[in-house]
Amino acid sequence: MKISIVSLGCSKNLVDSELITGNLVKHGHEISTESEADIIVVNTCGFIGDAKRESIDTTLEMLEYKRSGKCKKLIVTGCLVERYREELQQEIPEIDAFWGTGNLFDIHKLLDNEQLDYRVYKPGTLYDPDSPRVISTQKHFAYVKVSEGCSRTCSFCIIPKMRGVMKSRPVDSIYSEIKRLADQGVKEVNLIAQDMTSYGRDIGTDLNTMLGEVAKVENIEWIRIHYCYPWGMTDALMDTINREQKILPYIDMPIQHINNRILKLMDRKTPKSRILDILSRLRSSIDEVTLRSTFIVGFPGETEKEFGELLEFINETKFERAGAFIYSKEEDTGAYDLDNHIPEEIKEERYERFMETQSEVSLQNNKKLIGTVQKAIIDGIENGHPYARLRSQAPDVDGVTYLNGNISKSEIGKITDVKITDADFYDLHAELIKQ
């Protein structure tokens, strides 16, 4: 049968969609577009309100193909199913089957009309190098999920209930997968986890050890790590990142807030003083480090003064990359029953002020690069404009670097030198320096 996979949410969900695709192809099915598909699979996100709305809207959009087109069956999977299966079944009875986040390698059985209940499986799917997977990113970069789930108890977060406690993959499994990706032509690997700096604690190893091993894989040129919890940012880890040339000096470390009272309400274990110390050591220990973080605005009880403290922190720290979420009130989380939830209009207003502040910081940082020569990986051509990414620009979440002139298809995926010629709030412009 012809299958269409619609993937929503984060890069971790994208890996799951690639595993689903690989599983279905392995069992003889063909990947197709929505308009041509016999079966459509929607892999949903259930993290916050906006993500849930997008998942529902997309499911309804795909339902139209079943009502009017070739599609015979609609399957919904992912995080939203782990949270709201019964509600989805009642509200959208035309959904033919549900699957959560556990054991994605059995999902093909639903296409054969087997009656399976995903709830017998623990949430979250670990995979190994031999797991069938179809990479959906450009051929020169890929995501590698090093662990599944999270054992943190952050009061705003529902992920442990949708993905389970943290489960780490063995180092040799990760090494073997990256080696296989290198053999397929991948140059850049983005390591992802919900809590990267806790990697390995459940299996007797650690992130430092794993990075040292995967850096040995030949033909991989860039290794980037995402979602580092501040608690685990040790001196030894900083030394490894600075020493291993393949590991990019790019630290993606969600901090969420800087006010101690709000951090305590969030059940974050790292107080302001330690956060400031970690950031200071990152700046001094890692050459040309890029700091990326995310924050939550409008957390229950956040005062104007506490929000002002966050803005002051953003201005002073000058993150190269920073974004924000508007707090989303999620049932089954610790923050759900807190007092003094912030009105939506105030949350929206604070979000706008945060983004305006960070935009100015980003522009200042980007302008400093004008006239410098930087390494960049050529990503492709968009609307006739060739573009690349610097070491400081992660795929999907950061800006890009637009290139003057033309490139050939054979140049896509190559790492080369570019000279920065102009900058805006998020993107850069550069000349390609021909080798």
What CATH number is attached to the domain comprising 322? 3.80.30.20
What CATH number is attached to the domain comprising 80? 3.40.50.12160
Lowest-confidence region among 16-25, 106-115, 153-162, 264-273: 106-115
pLDDT reported for residue 407: 87
The total of other beta-carbon atoms located within 10 Å of residue 131's CB is 17
- The 10s digit of each residue's pLDDT in 290-307 is 999 999 999 999 999 999
**Same domain? 338 vs 283:** yes
Which of 332, 349, 366 corresponds to the end of one domain?
366
Buried b / exposed e over 361-394, threshold 16 CB at 10 Å, is bbeebbeebeeeebbbbbbbeeeeebbbbbbbbb
Which of 332, 351, 366 corresponds to the end of one domain?
366
* Residue 284, C-beta contacts closer than 8 angstroms, at least 6 positions apart: none
What CATH number is attached to the domain comprising 417? 2.40.50.140
- The 10s digit of each residue's pLDDT in 26-74 is 999 999 999 999 999 999 999 888 999 999 999 999 999 999 878 999 9
Asked whether residue 358 carries a pLDDT value surpassing 90, the answer given is yes
- What are the E-state strand segments in 287-399? 290-297, 321-326, 373-382, 385-390
136 in a structural domain: no
**Same domain? 178 vs 207:** yes
Among all chains, which residue has been given the structure tokens 């031999």?
A: 130
The 8-class DSSP code of residue 256 comes to: B
**Same domain? 13 vs 104:** yes
Cα–Cα distance measured from residue 286 to residue 406, given in angstroms and rounded to the nearest whole number: 34
* Residue 57, C-beta contacts closer than 8 angstroms, at least 6 positions apart: none
- The 10s digit of each residue's pLDDT in 263-295 is 999 999 999 999 999 999 999 999 999 999 999
**Same domain? 265 vs 347:** yes
**Same domain? 211 vs 93:** no
131 in a structural domain: no
132 in a structural domain: no
pLDDT-derived band of residue 118, with 50, 70 and 90 as boundaries? Answer: confident
Domain encompassing residue 384: 373-432
**Same domain? 18 vs 156:** no
Q: Into how many domains does the chain fold?
A: 3
133 in a structural domain: no
Asked whether residue 363 carries a pLDDT value surpassing 80, the answer given is yes
pLDDT reported for residue 135: 93
The 8-class DSSP code of residue 398 comes to: S
Q: What percent of the chain has pLDDT over 90?
A: 89
Average pLDDT of the chain? Answer: 94
178 in a structural domain: yes
**Same domain? 309 vs 416:** no
- What average pLDDT does range 168-196 have in this prediction? 97
**Same domain? 357 vs 383:** no
Q: What is the pTM of this model?
A: 0.94
* Residue 64, C-beta contacts closer than 8 angstroms, at least 6 positions apart: none
pLDDT reported for residue 435: 63
- The 10s digit of each residue's pLDDT in 326-352 is 999 999 999 999 999 999 999 999 999
264 in a structural domain: yes
Task: Give residue 220's identity as a one-letter amino acid code.
Answer: I
pLDDT reported for residue 58: 96
**Same domain? 346 vs 209:** yes
CA 337 to chain CA centroid, nearest Å: 28
- The 10s digit of each residue's pLDDT in 377-389 is 999 998 888 999 9
404 in a structural domain: yes
**Same domain? 347 vs 241:** yes
**Same domain? 354 vs 398:** no
pLDDT-derived band of residue 112, with 50, 70 and 90 as boundaries? Answer: confident
**Same domain? 350 vs 388:** no
273 in a structural domain: yes
Which of 120, 152, 167 corresponds to the end of one domain?
120
